[in-house]
Amino acid sequence: MQKKYYTIKEAAKILGVTPLTLRNWDRTGKLKAYRNPVNNYRMYKASQLELFLRKMDRKHFS
């Protein structure tokens, strides 16, 4: 079963960037993170990461 949410470290590994890059993208609005209501950590939806990867692929092959 696939996870619904990923931590910033897991999301960075999936996207091939550093956690710092994800923090910057969140701050600039390129890829917004959801916040865990208990500890306020950044979390990323699996569907959100898949969509972002598809967009990156389209830009790469255009």
Total domain count, the chain: 1
3-state secondary structure of 21: helix
pLDDT of residue 12 exceeding 70: yes
Name the pairing type of β-strands 42-45 and 34-35. Answer: antiparallel
Q: What is the pLDDT of residue 62?
A: 54
Listed in sequence order, the residues at least 6 apart from 23 whose beta carbon sits closer than 8 Å to its beta carbon are 8, 42
Q: What is the rounded CA–CA span in Å between residue 54 and residue 7?
A: 20
**What mean pLDDT do residues 31-59 have?**
93
- Where in the sequence is the domain holding 27, given as residue range(s)? 5-61
Q: Average pLDDT of 8-37?
A: 96
CATH number at residue 42: 1.10.1660.10
pLDDT at 61: 61
Mean pLDDT for 42-51 is 96
Q: Beta-carbon neighbour count of residue 34 at 10 Å?
A: 13
Mean pLDDT for the stretch of residues 37-53 = 95
